[in-house]
Amino acid sequence: MFGFKFRIEVLYFTTFRKSTSTSLISSYTIPPFTTIRGVISNALGLRRDDLRVQEWIKIGIKPQNCINRSTEMAKVLKLKGTGKKYQKTFSSSPMFKEFLVNPVYDIYVAGDQEKIQNIYHALKNPKRPLYIGGSDELVDINTFEPVEIGKATSKETFCVMDGIHENCIIEKIPYKFIQAGRNFSLEYRTVSIPKDENFNGEAEIFNFNGENIFLF
Amino acid sequence: MEIKIPIYNDIWMDNAVENLYRLINDSEEEIDINLDKTELTVNTNDKDGLRGILSSIIQNNRNTLIVKHKDKKTGEIKEIKKDFVLIQEGKKIDGIVAFKENIYSEPNKSTSEILDLIEKNGERTCVVCGNTFFKPYKKLQQASYPFVTKIKSLSGVRTYKDGNFYSFREYYDNFCPICYMVGILEWLDSRIIYRTFPGDKSILFLPYFDNFEDLVEFKEEYGPLLNKSERYSNIRVNLDEDKTEGTPGKFSTLLCFYEKFLLDIDYENVIGRNWAIMEVPFGSVKNIKFRMLNLTDSILGVMKELIGENEIRVYTNLIKETYFFIDNPKGAPVDWDLTRKIREKLSESFLIDDFRSFSRMLLPRKGGKVGYSSETRRNLESLIYIWRLKKMGISKESLGSIKGVGNIVAKVSKNNLSLLYKLDKTRSIEDFWSVLREISRKLIGIDIKKAKVRPTSLDELIQLLKDNEAQWTEIRDLLVVYSSMYYAIGSRGGEKK
């Protein structure tokens, strides 16, 4: 299996909105897997609703800085009309919005050599401008060379892990979309996000150039 | 039938699962129910029996959602829905609240329908729990999950329609009957801590744990502290009284809760320190505000130590006894609005372990000063000793030097507060030295015997500062606290012995 890492730095602020928060806007601590696949799909220039990337890769996440949160009062525009005609004005609603301040994440992707090479080149020369969270929240991406990766067992690691672990932030993160006609549903994964300590305990991980990473 | 509900890792839903477990358990009906760290399991062959149990717990606990109010003129007793309950209400019939939610208005029929739906397998995926289900009982709405509202822009996934343009397919329908039932019944939870400010907002506190067992234990422990039949607040003043506390804000409410928990409850090992604080506004649009508060072990330790060794309750014996006195002797002596704000801010500063902000709250302000009785002052000194000095490794003798200089600052600031403000605003140790130099200069102008100050304390403070340069900000904040304290005493005409 091949894999590589890329570092995502959100230039200023971003929100990874929880899909079940609409009377306020709460944010996940890390970008959901669906969001990361969205960035990759965008770089590859795939069309809307093209979910092929879901089948191509496995993903690992490592937060790189202490993630600060803050809250603002945001004016959220309400959608009007059917979408058939151009709509000029929209009513709005004030709402509390949680946002993350300049978060940085190392994202690890793994899969077949050909697919990984494609994604690597796409992220270096994306087809469209790349953003994460909101469509006006641009990102700075730094890619690292693909390497061959292998399974390993580690007793100590620092990355997002599957399941519930002590001294971590526990979140249920959207993992993939399931499409049935015009309906979408979400599959979630419960993850543990490390705060400042390494995980102690045996886990099946992958070795990316000496870094032990759990892949989802 | 078997119902399995795994932990959601969601504040509302996890409290709701715990609540459902407690309600069924407390009903003392014979049913196989089990809650372990990560899952609630209900096992029964008697679906009708389960429906009966659910229906009766809804009817028996309906009082948690309402308060009874006696009309002063007519003497009639009417029901009022608690201000924070986000279930829509119809027109009252004979003074009885009519909920627009079938599970509360027709529990028998509604629970029966829900259990029928739960029993069937389906292919739809629930947007809240991620499990598959057959058909929703109701859409995802604020009544069953307070973090949502009807807003199309945020509730759909873009997709094609007729291959021509993009439309939204809302996912409100993707809400399983189990999540609906669990979420909507959370309003029956008598262990939600609340404080309502009429016409403004209600604040709710929900404890958060990463496992059900600790959540059950903690909520079980603090349950007796709450009185669910009061409209505006449910923290009892005393365990055996119905009267509840009138705290000025969210942090003071939580602080008040903790001091009662630590003193009045015979707790075992579990003390919750992670809280979700939800603010529900008055008015028709219920866009809620939400924040998490994670208290540190060290702050809990300070509260425990103060209660354990000195029986001092930080809120009741200190913050609640702090006032803002107005300088104008002819008008009202206390500015109650500002007093409430200061009490709230002091509670916040303490709970988030921000001594800097705490000390600034005690500074004199335009038109008056913060004051308290000599007993409260002693409690404040005990708090400062345990909260700051012990950790810093500064002895009680060294505190004498800080107090001495505080007294000097108070005396030289009597007619001119700029020095005290300058002291508070120092941003570097160089600024601090400069202020201390200014204090030493001002000493020349005062009558030492009359003012009862001890000039040597300034030398001692300088030495203390040299030995603890890294902690200069702490020393500055302590000096601000004592200067403000002596200023308040001095302007009241001196300390009575």
The pLDDT score that the predictor gives to residue A86 is: 74
Cβ distance A84 to B286 less than 8 Å, yes or no, reads no
Q: Rounded to whole angstroms, how far apart are CA atoms B347 and B160?
A: 53
Q: Strand pairing partners for A69?
A: A100
The pLDDT score that the predictor gives to residue B495 is: 46
Q: Which residues of B touch A78 (CB under 8 A)?
A: 151-153
Per the prediction, chain A carries an average pLDDT of 88
Q: Which residues of A touch B152 (CB under 8 A)?
A: 78-79
The HSE-up count of residue B352 (CA atoms within 13 Å, CB side) is 14
Q: Are A123 and A38 in contact (CB under 8 A)?
A: no
In three-state secondary structure terms, B365 is strand
In three-state secondary structure terms, A27 is strand
Q: Residue B469 gets which letter from DSSP? A: G
The pLDDT score that the predictor gives to residue A211 is: 87
DSSP B34-70: EE-SSEEEEE-S-HHHHHHHHHHHHHHTGGGTEEEEE
Cβ distance B287 to A93 less than 8 Å, yes or no, reads yes
Q: How far is CA B492 from CA A120, A150, B402, B409, B414, in A?
A: 73, 76, 21, 16, 11
Query: Could you say which of A83, A182, A185 has the minimum Cβ distance to residue B125?
Result: A185
In this structure, the number of other CB atoms found within 10 A of the CB of residue B395 comes to 11
Q: How far is CA B496 from CA B5, B131, B326, B374, in A?
A: 64, 69, 21, 9
Q: Exposure pattern of B2-37 as b/e (b: 16+ CB <10 Å)? A: ebebebbbbbbbbbbbbbbbbbbeebeeeeebebee
Instruction: Report the run of H or E that residue B192 belongs to, with start and end.
Output: none
Query: Could you say which of A19, A24, A183 has the minimum Cβ distance to residue B169?
Result: A183
Q: Rounded to whole angstroms, how far apart are CA atoms B189 and B64?
A: 7
Q: Rounded to whole angstroms, how far apart are CA atoms B145 and B89?
A: 17
In three-state secondary structure terms, B310 is helix
ipTM at complex level = 0.81
Across chain B, which has 497 residues, the per-10-residue mean pLDDT values are: 91 95 87 91 89 93 90 85 92 88 92 93 88 92 89 64 60 89 95 95 94 93 92 92 93 94 81 92 85 90 87 92 85 87 96 92 88 89 87 78 88 82 90 87 75 80 86 90 85 48
Instruction: Report the run of H or E that residue B261 belongs to, with start and end.
Output: helix B250-264
To 5 degrees, how large is the angle CA B126–CA B129–CA B133? 40
Only one residue has tokens 């000025």, namely: B248
Q: Which residues of A touch B285 (CB under 8 A)?
A: 93
Only one residue has tokens 């979630």, namely: A188
Q: Are B398 and B460 in contact (CB under 8 A)?
A: yes
Q: Are B346 and B359 in contact (CB under 8 A)?
A: no
Q: Is the pLDDT of residue A182 over 90?
A: no
Q: Which residues of A touch B182 (CB under 8 A)?
A: none
Only one residue has tokens 């006032």, namely: B323
Quick: pLDDT tens for A6-30. 999 998 899 999 988 888 899 999 9
Q: Strand pairing partners for A179?
A: A184
Query: Could you say which of A23, A94, A164 has the minimum Cβ distance to residue B148?
Result: A23
Tokens at B185, concatenated:
């019944």
Which A residues, 66 through 85, put their C-beta within 8 Å of a C-beta on chain B?
71, 76-79, 82-84
Spell out which chain B residues touch chain A, with contact meaning CB-CB distance below 8 angstroms.
7-10, 38, 123-125, 127-128, 130, 140, 142, 145-155, 157-161, 165-169, 171, 174, 210-211, 285-291
Q: Rounded to whole angstroms, how far apart are CA atoms A202 and A216?
A: 16
- By DSSP bridging, strand A104-111 and strand A2-10 are antiparallel
Letter for the amino acid at B48? D
Q: How far is B273 from chain A (nearest CA, A)?
A: 13
Q: Rounded to whole angstroms, how far apart are CA atoms A15 and A26?
A: 8
Q: Rounded to whole angstroms, how far apart are CA atoms B287 and B299?
A: 32
Q: Rounded to whole angstroms, how far apart are CA atoms A110 and A148?
A: 9
To 5 degrees, how large is the angle CA B471–CA B472–CA B474? 70
The pLDDT score that the predictor gives to residue B494 is: 46
Residue B259 φ/ψ, nearest 5 degrees? -65, -35
Q: How far is A104 from chain B (nearest CA, A)?
A: 22
In this structure, the number of other CB atoms found within 10 A of the CB of residue B245 comes to 20
Q: Rounded to whole angstroms, how far apart are CA atoms A152 and A205?
A: 5
Q: Are B157 and A184 in contact (CB under 8 A)?
A: yes
Q: How far is CA B328 from CA A180, B331, B335, B373, B417, in A?
A: 73, 6, 11, 19, 17
Tokens at A105, concatenated:
């994440």
Q: Rounded to whole angstroms, how far apart are CA atoms B186 and B85?
A: 10
Cβ distance B171 to A184 less than 8 Å, yes or no, reads yes
Say if residue A9 is exposed, middle or buried (CB neighbours under 10 Å; 0-12, 13-18, 19+). middle
In this structure, the number of other CB atoms found within 10 A of the CB of residue B345 comes to 20
Cβ distance A24 to B289 less than 8 Å, yes or no, reads yes
Q: Are B123 and B174 in contact (CB under 8 A)?
A: no
Only one residue has tokens 């000496």, namely: A210
The HSE-up count of residue B398 (CA atoms within 13 Å, CB side) is 18
Q: Are A132 and A123 in contact (CB under 8 A)?
A: no
Quick: pLDDT tens for A34-83. 999 999 999 999 987 788 999 999 999 999 888 888 988 888 887 766 66
Q: Which residues of A touch B151 (CB under 8 A)?
A: 22, 76, 78, 93
Q: Rounded to whole angstroms, how far apart are CA atoms B178 and B452?
A: 72
Q: Strand pairing partners for B78?
A: B69
Question: Dmax over Cα atoms in chain B, in whole Å?
Answer: 93
The pLDDT score that the predictor gives to residue B11 is: 93
Q: Which residues of B touch A71 (CB under 8 A)?
A: 289, 291
Q: Are A191 and A36 in contact (CB under 8 A)?
A: no
